[in-house]
Amino acid sequence: MITKLTDEFIPVYGPVKSWRYGRSLGIDPIGKISTCSFNCVYCQLGEIEQKISDRSVYVSTTEILLNLQKFAPWDVDIITLSGSGEPTLALNLKEILQETKKLTNKPILVLTNGTTLTNPEVKLALTLADRVSIKIDAVTSKQLQGINRPAEILNLSDIWENIKDFRDKYQGKLAIQTMILSPWNTQNKVEYINLVKYLKPDEIQLNTPTRPKPIKRQLDGRGNHTEYHPYAVQKLKCISPEKLQNFAEEIYKNTNIPVRYKQK
Ligand code: SF4
């Protein structure tokens, strides 16, 4: 089977099936050029084309709403802001969330890497989402540099304090999502457990790469691209389902926070 690909950028895509959230319609507020404050080694968008942490309007709210209308009556479980990079880099984030809710009245989720939470405007905008899922793949700067390869030097403690501040004010459901490529050492596991105890998310989602990484940017990377793809990919390191399960159980035992992990 060959997957038909298109080069045309459309800011609403899917629905895609998410193991965490069910049938999800995607909104991409970033656009054709992948743009993120991270360049994660496992990113399904391929190597990030524009690695920056500046906020800007990449796709107008009007264009998003016009495309969203075509999907009425939105027979999905959730609408997810994610797409071609870090959605909170969109300066019109608040407007997109407000207008999407007004138009569809569906639950809205934002997937974020958390780097912009140091900005009070981002924190305020995110309170409009029903669910927010924040990526934490690293508990040390070395891990961060190796896995997430940020656009600039980041102070992890500063980000965590801002996540905590957001948690304390946020009424919606907060998840921490963590991608694990190789087994963590005991010290990192303990630090992670202490961190999530402090942050008190409603849920933790553990994941390991199950799809290969496109070598170059593919719009297809926004959705569920399968093992059948007419472009070059790189196989990624991952840990076994048993190891993922063991870590999930260890976290739950020590924190009482529900942990979900992807079972093949
Ligand atoms: S934060 Fe998300 S979009 Fe950005 S590089 Fe990592 S996986 Fe890709």
Question: How far apart (Å, rounded) are the C-alpha atoms in residues 86 and 48?
Answer: 10
Domain assignment of residue 1, yes or no: no
In the block, residue with structure tokens 């870590």: 247
Domain assignment of residue 130, yes or no: yes
Number of domains in the chain: 1
Distance 202 CA to ligand 1 centre (A): 22
Torsion of CA 191, 195, 197, 198, to 10 degrees: 140
Domain assignment of residue 2, yes or no: no
Averaged pLDDT for residues 197-201? 98
- CA separation (Å) from 179 to 72, 126, 204, 235, 259? 33, 22, 11, 15, 13
Domain assignment of residue 163, yes or no: yes
Classified as helix, coil or strand, 9 is coil
At residue 223 the predicted structure's pLDDT band, cuts being 50, 70 and 90, is: low
Domain assignment of residue 4, yes or no: no
Q: Residue 231's pLDDT is what?
A: 74
> Which tokens go with 194?
């202490």
Nearest CA to ligand 1 atom 6: 40
> Which tokens go with 219?
């719009």
- Whether the pLDDT of residue 3 is over 50: the answer is no
In the block, residue with structure tokens 């994610």: 82
Domain assignment of residue 149, yes or no: yes
- For a mutational test of ligand 1's pocket, the pick from 30, 33, 43, 49, i.e. the residue with the most ligand atoms closer than 8 A to its C-beta, is 43
> Could you list the residue range(s) of the whole structural domain that residue 117 is in?
12-261
Q: Is 138 in the pocket of ligand 1 (CB under 6 A)?
A: no
- For a mutational test of ligand 1's pocket, the pick from 52, 86, 117, i.e. the residue with the most ligand atoms closer than 8 A to its C-beta, is 86
Q: Is 159 in the pocket of ligand 1 (CB under 6 A)?
A: no
Q: Residue 83's pLDDT is what?
A: 87
At residue 72 the predicted structure's pLDDT band, cuts being 50, 70 and 90, is: very high
Q: Is 151 in the pocket of ligand 1 (CB under 6 A)?
A: no
Averaged pLDDT for residues 120-146? 97
**In CATH, what number is assigned to the domain containing residue 98?**
3.20.20.70
Mean pLDDT score across all residues of the chain: 92
Domain assignment of residue 6, yes or no: no
Q: Residue 236's pLDDT is what?
A: 80
- Closest atom of ligand 1 to 113 CA is 1
In what order do the strands lie in the sheet containing 173-179?
A: 12-18, 22-27, 78-81, 108-112, 131-135, 173-179, 203-207, 259-261
- Whether the pLDDT of residue 4 is over 70: the answer is no
- Whether the pLDDT of residue 217 is over 90: the answer is no
Element (DSSP H or E) covering residue 135: strand 131-135
Q: Is 113 in the pocket of ligand 1 (CB under 6 A)?
A: yes
Write the single-letter amino acid at 258. Answer: P
Lowest mean pLDDT among 23-27, 43-47, 78-82, 230-234: 230-234
- Give yes or no for a contact between 67 and 175, defined as CB atoms under 8 angstroms apart: no
Domain assignment of residue 63, yes or no: yes
